[in-house]
């Protein structure tokens, strides 16, 4: 199979009248990477994908494939495989004819065409369905046909527009694994669009988070989760407790913060004494402390709500100075049956929370 390709967006902007759908987005996708564009609806992620595919002409900026500007190249000349939302399989053709379509328009002769179709159908485990029509297949099978059709002509890139959104939860998890395995096997560059943060984190090497047409943060899933740059990222990728506190003392990389009457110890690289900082504290980083235990940060609170999640408990604990804190505990670590009004001691180390920029978005 052909080598993987790298893609760069340079200052990509798309305006529709006075509305800016994509606002000056620059990012690099390296060879063989699996990048996911993640954002709520209206964040511009699909517009970016359509611009990469060639269906949307950018108002400004450039799209580079291996350093070559492809912005003016029409979609049929880009050689990008694309899986559309809803699959867009040709209803008047069989599965094999659907796969033959991109090969036929490239003038590939029959023998080679048949060999490629067979190999690709094997890859997605659909060999026995070659003569069926799309309407005779289940949703998951249609999705795999769409994937096969996008891969059969050895495309430069594979673009996926919410490829799993139409499937039920169990099937989605299965196909997520398949997609990941496929990516590893064929070593191509994949660009995926989704609004599902779990899908983004489990599939991708790199996640780009978008909001209101702007690129907010890009990085490996764990980096984004552990060190979100803004309040929006912290809230969009998983759940987070937001704590606002004032710096009262600095000591090297650590700082003392004050929130109401509570003093917090926090690792902090920026921020002067007197500044107000916003911290994102993940629910699973808060520990429940027993009688003799202690931690850098200590608070006490009363349980106001809880839910049992099988693998764990999710508790809401009302504290005097930090407001309601959400914490999650593995079931086997919860030494009690949660009850409303229960008073708990909570603690976390100085590096548990991450300072974030307040971009006004929850």
| Binding residues vs other proteins (CB under 8 A) | 53-55, 74-82, 84-86, 88, 90-92, 101-102, 105-106, 133, 135, 149-150, 153
Exposure on the CB side of residue 340, measured as CA atoms within 13 A:
2
Gap between the Cα atoms of 71 and 51, Å rounded: 8
Beta strands in 30-167, from DSSP E residues, in sequence order: 34-38, 60-65, 68-69, 80-83, 157-161
Least gap, CB of 135 to other proteins (angstroms): 4
Least gap, CB of 347 to other proteins (angstroms): 53
Least gap, CB of 277 to other proteins (angstroms): 46
CB atoms inside a 10 Å sphere around CB 156: 20
Least gap, CB of 108 to other proteins (angstroms): 11
CB closer to other proteins, 78 vs 231 = 78
Exposure on the CB side of residue 198, measured as CA atoms within 13 A:
8
CB closer to other proteins, 142 vs 280 = 142
Least gap, CB of 89 to other proteins (angstroms): 8
Cα–Cα distances in angstroms (integers) from residue 189 to residues 154, 156, 185, 193, 228, in the given order: 11, 8, 12, 14, 25
CB closer to other proteins, 7 vs 299 = 7
Q: Phi, psi at residue 9, to the nearest 5°? A: -105, 130
CB closer to other proteins, 78 vs 229 = 78
Which residues lie closer than 8 Å to 286 by C-beta, 6 or more apart?
241, 325, 327, 346, 347, 348, 352
CB closer to other proteins, 153 vs 225 = 153
Helices 139-151 and 95-104, interaxial angle, to 10°? 20
CB closer to other proteins, 124 vs 353 = 124
Exposure on the CB side of residue 202, measured as CA atoms within 13 A:
14
CB closer to other proteins, 101 vs 223 = 101
Least gap, CB of 133 to other proteins (angstroms): 4
The DSSP code for 87 is B
Q: Phi, psi at residue 64, to the nearest 5°? A: -115, 130
Burial class (CB in 10 A: 0-12, 13-18, 19+), 74: exposed
Kind and range of the H or E element at 331?
A: none
Q: Phi, psi at residue 261, to the nearest 5°? A: -95, 0
Least gap, CB of 11 to other proteins (angstroms): 24
Least gap, CB of 132 to other proteins (angstroms): 10
CB closer to other proteins, 105 vs 324 = 105
Least gap, CB of 213 to other proteins (angstroms): 22
CB closer to other proteins, 74 vs 330 = 74
Gap between the Cα atoms of 162 and 169, Å rounded: 14
């Amino acid at each position: 199979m052909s080598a993987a390709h790298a893609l760069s967006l340079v200052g990509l902007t798309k305006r529709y009248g006075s509305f800016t759908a994509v606002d000056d987005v620059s990012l690099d996708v390296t060879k063989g990477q699996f990048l996911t564009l993640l954002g709520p609806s209206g964040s511009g992620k699909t517009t970016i994908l359509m611009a990469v595919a060639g269906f949307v002409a950018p108002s400004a900026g450039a799209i580079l494939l291996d350093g070559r500007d492809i912005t003016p190249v029409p979609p049929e000349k880009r050689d990008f495989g694309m899986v559309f939302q809803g699959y867009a399989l040709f209803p008047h053709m069989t599965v094999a004819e659907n796969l033959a379509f991109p090969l036929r328009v490239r003038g590939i002769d029959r023998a080679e065409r048949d060999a490629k179709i067979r190999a690709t159908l094997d890859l997605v485990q659909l060999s026995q369905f070659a003569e069926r029509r799309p309407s005779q297949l289940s949703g998951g099978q249609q999705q795999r046909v769409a994937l096969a059709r996008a891969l059969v002509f050895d495309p430069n890139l594979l673009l996926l527009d919410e490829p799993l959104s139409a499937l039920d939860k169990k099937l989605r998890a299965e196909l997520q694994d398949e997609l990941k395995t496929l990516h590893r096997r064929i070593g191509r560059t994949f660009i995926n669009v989704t609004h599902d943060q779990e899908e983004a984190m489990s599939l991708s090497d790199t996640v780009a988070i978008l909001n209101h047409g702007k690129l907010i943060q890009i990085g490996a899933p764990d980096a984004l989760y552990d060190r979100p740059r803004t309040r929006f990222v912290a809230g969009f990728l998983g759940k987070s407790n937001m704590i606002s506190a004032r710096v009262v003392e600095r000591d090297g990389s650590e700082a003392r913060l004050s929130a109401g009457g509570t003093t917090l110890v926090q690792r902090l690289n920026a921020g002067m004494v007197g500044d107000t900082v916003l911290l994102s504290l993940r629910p699973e980083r808060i520990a429940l402390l027993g009688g003799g235990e202690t931690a850098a940060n200590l608070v006490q609170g009363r349980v106001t709500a809880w839910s049992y999640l099988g693998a764990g408990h999710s508790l809401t604990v009302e504290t005097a100075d930090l407001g309601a804190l959400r914490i999650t505990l593995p079931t086997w670590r919860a030494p009690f049956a949660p009850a409303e009004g229960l008073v708990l001691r909570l603690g976390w180390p100085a590096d548990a929370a991450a300072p974030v920029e307040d971009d006004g978005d929850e």
